[in-house]
Every structure is written in C-alpha cells, then in structure tokens.
Amino acid sequence: MNFYVHQNIHINMLKVGSVSNSSVLQIGSAGMIKPLSNLYNTGGFKEPAPQAGDPSGGISGPVVPFSTT
C-alpha cells in the first residue's frame, strides 16, 4: 500500500537554537529519515588544532572525595 502526502509549507522565519551531531530537524512528512553528516571548515583552518592543555588548569594534588555530610 502506498501513501502520498502533498504538502505546501510556508515558513516566514525559522530559528534554530543549537545543532549537535545527532540533531534531526524535520519539516513536513518523511517516509524515511536518512542520516547525513556534513563537516565544514568554516574558519578556513589549514592545520590541526594544537594539543589541549591540562583540563585542571595545571593544579595538581591529592584527590579528595566529595562528601555531602
């Protein structure tokens, strides 16, 4: 059995707050959503990013468990 959906969609403004790697934005009906991933170099970078530093900001010392009591 086949279903045919005819739609006319008019959007004056569409504001997307955020987009992540697993986001899906669907407008209208879809029989099947196919995954698509695009990677863009919008900054025009020509070399890899430098290595990330220590996430603690260089602070070292003993690990002290956190207690709520």
User: How far apart (Å, rounded) are the C-alpha atoms in residues 69 and 4?
Assistant: 62
Q: Please state the rounded mean pLDDT for residues 10-31.
A: 77
Tell me the pLDDT tens digit for each residue of 29-59: 666 767 778 888 888 889 988 887 776 666 6
Q: What is the pTM of this model?
A: 0.27
Structure tokens at 5: 């959906």
